[in-house]
């Protein structure tokens, strides 16, 4: 008899993005006083302290600003993984990256859901940068 082990998946920071047909769009706060844009969304502008903010979403594509490979990840993260600063529609966001090596600056990426770690038997998923042209895992098995 064969035993099939099901893997549980947990989405992290779900309130900060929405999943669309084109990918993941991040929820940002636009300051109506000074024009700065912030991710994650906030209740007051970190530049001018105005509370006159509008929440909008970015698109699902960005460009790598800088990237680095982490070699000493601790649980629940993998031992090695790549983090990148991604410029996306006026915000710069640090995120896990679906790559074995650091991205070169100006690499185009798509923002999608991806596996970023494992906590006991639960896969942790969140928004992640995928270099354009690299296969994207399906979030359909998310439970």
54-67: per-residue pLDDT in tens? 999 999 999 999 99
Tell me the β-bridge partners of 47: none
**Global pTM?**
0.86
Is the confidence at residue 25, as pLDDT, over 50? yes
Is the confidence at residue 127, as pLDDT, over 60? yes
Q: Based on the number of CB atoms within 10 Å of its own CB, is 43 exposed (0-12), middle (13-18) or buried (19 or more)?
A: exposed
Lowest-pLDDT range, 33-37, 76-80, 91-95? 76-80
Better pLDDT: 63 or 143? 63
Is the confidence at residue 129, as pLDDT, over 50? yes
Is the confidence at residue 1, as pLDDT, over 80? no
pLDDT at site 5: 60
Is the confidence at residue 84, as pLDDT, over 60? yes
Q: How many residues does the chain have?
A: 143
Instruction: Write out pLDDT tens, residues 87-120.
Output: 999 999 999 999 999 999 999 999 999 999 999 8
Is the confidence at residue 142, as pLDDT, over 70? no
Cβ-based neighbours of 56, under 8 Å, separated by 6 or more: 27, 28, 30
CA atoms within 13 A on the CB side of 65: 11
């Amino acid at each position: 008899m064969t035993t099939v082990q099901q893997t549980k998946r947990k989405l992290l920071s779900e309130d900060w993005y929405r999943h669309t047909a084109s990918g993941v769009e991040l929820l940002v706060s636009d300051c109506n006083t000074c024009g700065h844009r912030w991710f994650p969304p906030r209740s007051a502008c970190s530049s001018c302290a105005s509370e006159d903010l509008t929440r909008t979403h970015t698109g699902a594509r960005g460009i790598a600003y800088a990237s680095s490979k982490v070699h000493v990840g601790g649980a629940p993260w993998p031992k090695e993984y790549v983090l990148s600063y991604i410029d996306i529609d006026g915000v710069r966001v640090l995120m896990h990256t679906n790559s074995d090596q650091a991205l070169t600056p100006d690499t185009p990426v798509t923002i999608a859901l991806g596996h970023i770690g494992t906590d006991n038997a639960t896969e942790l998923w969140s928004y992640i940068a995928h270099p354009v042209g690299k296969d994207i895992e399906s979030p359909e098995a998310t439970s």
